[in-house]
Structure 1
Amino acid sequence: MRFLLCLGLLVLSQFGLAHTKLLSQSPAAKATVNAPTQLTLSFNEALEPAFCHIHLFNAQQKEIPLAKPVFVSEPANTLSIPLPPLAAGEYLVKWSVVSQDGHRVKSSYSFTVKPRD
C-alpha cells in the first residue's frame, strides 16, 4: 500500500513540474525558406496573452519591428504574427511566454530566407 501511495505522489509531482513546451513553429528552426509572411508558434498548453512576446533579429542583430502576436486558437496556445517583407539572410526569433499557471518560458531559434529568384 505504501508503495502505491509513493508511486502516486511521484506521478502527481511530475505534473507539477511540467512547463510549457514549444510544439511547432513556422518557419521551422534551421529551415531555409522563401520569404515568409507569417510566424506561428504552437505550445502544449494555454498561455497568458498579455505576457507573450516575439522578437525578430536579422543577421546584423538589428531588431525587425513586429506587431503584437495574435492568438489563433482556443485555448490560447497558438500565436501568430504577420511578418514584414524579409530580405535574404539569417533571422533569429526570440520568444517569451507565460503559461496560465504563471511559469515563464523563453527560447530562440533561427531560420534563413532564400534569395529571391
Structure 2
Amino acid sequence: MKKILMLLTALTLSTATAHTAVSSITPSLNAVVAAPRAVQLKFSEPIKLRFSTFRVMAIPAGQSVEAAAKLALAEKADSGRLVSLPLSATITAAQLSIALKANLKSGQYVIAWKILSEDGHPVTGQSTFRIK
C-alpha cells in the first residue's frame, strides 16, 4: 500500500509540474517553404492569449536564432521589423494562426513566443523556417 501511495504521489507531482508546450508548428522547424500566409501553432493545453506574445521576424544576417527571438519578443506588435500582424484575440485557445505580411522576401525567419498557460506559468520558445 505504501508503494502505491508513493507512486500516486509521484504521478500527481509530475502532472502538476508539467507546463504548456507547443505541440506543433506550421511551417515546421527548419522547413524550406514558399512564403506562407500564416504561421500555425498548436499547444498541449489552452493558453491565455491576452497575456501571451507571438512574433515572426526575419533573422538579421549574422545573428543567432536565440538573439533574433529575444529581439523579436522585445518589438512592439506594430513594429515595422516584424512580419507578423498584430493579434486581436483576447481569449483562451489551444491553437493559433498568426497572419503574416504579404510578399515576404527569401531568407530565414524566427517564430518567437512567450505564452501564459492556464496554470499561470510563462513559457518561451522559438522555431525557424526559411523562405525560398
The TM tier, using the shorter chain, reads 0.7 to 0.9
Do residues 12 (structure 1) and 31 (structure 2) align? no
What RMSD, in angstroms, separates the aligned Cα atoms of the two structures?
2.0
Unaligned runs of 5+ in 2: 61-67, 73-80
In 2, the alpha carbon distance for the partners of 1:99 and 1:59 equals 27
Runs of 4+ in 1 over 3 A off after TM superposition: none
Structure 2 counterpart SS, 1:5:
helix
Give the TM-score normalised by structure 1: 0.86
Counterpart Cα distance in 2 of 1:69 and 1:93: 18
TM-score of the superposition, structure 2-length normalised?
A: 0.77
User: Structure 1 counterpart of 2:87, which letter?
Assistant: K
How many residues in Structure 1 have an aligned counterpart in Structure 2? 112
The amino acid across from 2:93 in the alignment is: A
Displacement of 1:92: 1.0
Q: Which has the higher contact order (CA 8 A, sep 6+)?
A: 2
User: Residue 68 of structure 1 aligns with which residue?
Assistant: 87
Report the CA distance between 1:44 and its aligned residue. 0.6
- SS of equivalent residue, structure 1 residue 57: strand
Task: Output the CA distance in 1 between the equivalents of 2:112 and 2:92.
Answer: 22
Does 1:110 pair with 2:128?
yes
Question: Which letter does structure 2 place at the counterpart of 1:80?
Answer: S
